Structure 1
Amino acid sequence: MRWIALKYLKPGYVLAQRVADERGRTLLAPGMTLSDSLIRRLQRVGVRAACVEARETEDVIVREMVDPKIKSQLMDVTFETMTELSSPVFRQRLKPTFLRKQFSPLLNEVVQQLREHNGAGEQLGSVYIADGELFHHSVNVTFYALTLGMQQGLTNAELVDLGLGALLHDIGKLRLPQKILQRAGKLTDEEFGTIKLHARYGYDILAKLQDVPTKSALIALQHHERLDGSGYPSGLTEAHIHPFSQMVAVVDVYEALTANRVYRKAFLPHDAMNILLSEKGVKLSAQHIDSLFESISIYPVGMTVRLSNGECAVVIQPSAYNNQYPVVRVIENERGEPIQPYELNLATTSDVHIVTCES
């Protein structure tokens, strides 16, 4: 199996992983054979890539670090919770809400599964629609954050608090005008000022809830603060930013950079890594950046890439030390024609490198 960008999908491909909506519910199930009409449907709902079965990579297994059923449940509860808490109706009635109690069983299950797989290492992504971008981003950030938390030796109770804050770190965005959030072009200074409000909006929502710990609510408020005081909303420096917020700040940046957005294409994973490394110890925690790249595969198994010689390949073995040099299986020549597959270790091939991801 392999991940492939929507524009390269053809009728006859068979889905290897499901396509989920913004609530984690299945739109298209694994095993479905794609037709022209189904591909057009994926395009209409904003799907950008799919994991498909492929003869040339039938021995490549793309694992999800968290069971799809658990991830689906977490997605659904996150969607329901964020939508309810951000609504004007909720603000008017202010009913008691027990979020930590509600989320704890799911977060404990996620932690257990991440421990079994040594963290959110290989592959976080399942296929999702563009309208679910906020919710999928929140869940993926949570998986990364929990992985870092486990590396830092946090207790299960602390991991639940970290996970709760990570899941809801962007809840304030649901109080912003969607036309600004979905703007494809560059934001004006005024519009960016509006975007910045989501941090305080999110904190205001969570701080009012009786069983949300302060350190969880602070993640919503502080995940855009930076160690040197250049962040927002308060320009805090390192000593005043909670460690949980520093952790989420790192994984939030990485997840956002490596995902397609309405206003830009995803960065190559090693380019995203270099962006984080350029801010290491200055804007973002050096400890958490190091932990992140020790625990994830920046080019996960199954990712389809285009090489500098024009050939198309699929990652079959992550790179050592998480650099940009995985082992790939080349499946197409520079003209897009199928060839007899062969394997290439980019770490020992000085004249060939990855130039773009096609998944």
Structure 2
Amino acid sequence: MRLVPIEYAREGNFLAQPLFNDNGQILLSKGVMLNNRLIFKIKEAGFLYLYINDNKDEEVINDVIKPEIRQKAIVSIKKIYSAIAQENGINSQKRLNDTVTDLKNMIDGIVDEMFAEKSIMIQLVDIRNLDNYTYSHSVNVAILSLVIGISYGLNKNDLYDLALGALLHDIGKMFIPENLLKKPGALTIDEFNIVQEHSLRGFNYMKDELNINARSRIISLQHHEKVDGTGYPYKLKDKEINLFSKIVSIADVYDGLTSDRIYRKAIPVHEALEYIMGGCGRLFDFNLVQAFVKKVVPYPIGTFIKLSNDVIGIVENVNLDFPLRPTVKIIKEKGKICSEYIIDLTKENTIVVEDIVYNI
């Protein structure tokens, strides 16, 4: 199973992960054989990447949580945003509080499921269309934050509060003009200052209108703070920043980098991971980055990669202690098919992965 840009999907490929619409309903099921008409429809629906199998019986990688649970969480977040937008009177406030209660109950189930699987690894990026970015991003940030929190050793009560705050970390964007959030070009200084207001607006809204505890809502306020004091809104440094906010900061940036946006395409997981590692101790907390990078698999089994010695291979095994250095079955040398052989990059220190290959 491998992730490919939609332009690399071909007739005869099999869909390795289902595609969902904005309401959490399945558009295309796992295992469907693609043809040109379906590929066109997928493009038309706004999907820029797919997980495919070249053969129907290839190994399928499981997500951190079940796809149906992920979609239910996305729908729940969407309901909260909708309830806020329609807020008007007692009935509306009750509907909003009921929706938040439902979300908390769902979080309990997600935390319990993930906490039981301590060896959980992040091997997939979420496939979504551009229109559904806000809701999918909120859920992804929560899931990634839980993976970091579990790796860091947080207890269940901590994880419940972390997940709730992560799910609602961007709720302040409800109060920012949509044309700024979806602007395809660079923001002006004044526009960026307005967008930055979402941190404080979200925090104040949760404090005044929602039954959200202080440990969860502080995440909205601080998730753009950086440990070197260059973040916003208050330019806090290191120990001044809440632990949960530091965790969500990493998850937020990672998911943003690996997601398609209106103004740019997603970057590969290994590049996003290198960015996070490059910001270790400067933008992000050192210990939390160390906990995170051990849980991300940038080259899942089945990925075609090019190595620095000018060979192309397919990832055969992930070395969990060194996820940037997988075991690779070489299938091509200097542009030509070759006799297959294995390279374990943990034992070949002079060879590195140069890039992911989508078409061999």
- Scaled by the length of structure 2, what TM-score is found? 0.86
Q: Deviations over 1:102-130 (max 9, x none)?
A: 22332222223323432551324343212
Shift in alpha-carbon separation, 1:329–1:22, aligned structure 2, 3 A: farther
What displacement does 1:210 show? 4.2
CA contact (8 A) 1:120 1:296 kept: no
What displacement does 1:299 show? 2.5
CA contact (8 A) 1:325 1:347 kept: yes
Which moved further from structure 2: 180-189 or 206-215? 180-189
Alignment of 1:261-340 (within 5 A): 261-307=261-307, 313-330=313-330
Q: Deviations over 1:206-264 (max 9, x none)?
A: 22234211121111111001122211112222333221111111221222223333323
Which residue of 2 is the match for residue 95 of structure 1?
93
Shift in alpha-carbon separation, 1:109–1:124, aligned structure 2, 3 A: farther
Which residue of 2 is the match for residue 69 of structure 1?
68
Alignment of 1:1-359 (within 5 A): 1-55=1-55, 58-85=57-84, 87=85, 89-90=86-87, 95-96=93-94, 97-98=97-98, 101-118=101-118, 120-307=120-307, 313-330=313-330, 343-349=342-348, 350-351=350-351, 353-356=353-356, 358=358
Between the aligned residues of both structures, percent identity stands at: 27
What displacement does 1:291 show? 0.9
Which moved further from structure 2: 325-334 or 175-184? 325-334
- CA separation in 2, counterparts of 1:281 and 1:250? 12
Q: What SS does structure 2 have at the residue aligned with 1:127?
A: coil
- CA separation in 2, counterparts of 1:128 and 1:173? 20
Q: What SS does structure 2 have at the residue aligned with 1:295?
A: coil
What displacement does 1:148 show? 2.1
Shift in alpha-carbon separation, 1:357–1:178, aligned structure 2, 3 A: farther
- CA separation in 2, counterparts of 1:71 and 1:175? 25
Shift in alpha-carbon separation, 1:143–1:45, aligned structure 2, 3 A: same
Higher relative contact order structure (alpha carbons within 8 Å, sequence separation ≥ 6)? 1
**Which 5+ residue runs of structure 2 have no aligned equivalent?**
none
- CA separation in 1, counterparts of 2:46 and 2:337? 28
Q: Deviations over 1:143-188 (max 9, x none)?
A: 1111222234333232111111101111222333333333333322
- CA separation in 2, counterparts of 1:130 and 1:313? 32
Which moved further from structure 2: 307-316 or 214-223? 307-316
What displacement does 1:333 show? 7.3
**2:276 partner letter:** L
What displacement does 1:308 show? 5.0
**Which 5+ residue runs of structure 1 have no aligned equivalent?**
none
CA contact (8 A) 1:298 1:322 kept: no
Shift in alpha-carbon separation, 1:286–1:340, aligned structure 2, 3 A: same
Q: What SS does structure 1 have at the residue aligned with 2:280?
A: coil
- CA separation in 1, counterparts of 2:150 and 2:36? 44
**2:273 partner letter:** M
Shift in alpha-carbon separation, 1:307–1:83, aligned structure 2, 3 A: farther
Q: What SS does structure 2 have at the residue aligned with 1:166?
A: helix
- CA separation in 2, counterparts of 1:19 and 1:331? 31
CA contact (8 A) 2:12 2:33 kept: yes
- CA separation in 2, counterparts of 1:343 and 1:25? 41
CA contact (8 A) 1:24 1:76 kept: yes
- Deviating above 6 A after TM superposition, structure 1's stretches of 4 or more consecutive aligned residues are 332-335, 337-341
What displacement does 1:266 show? 3.1
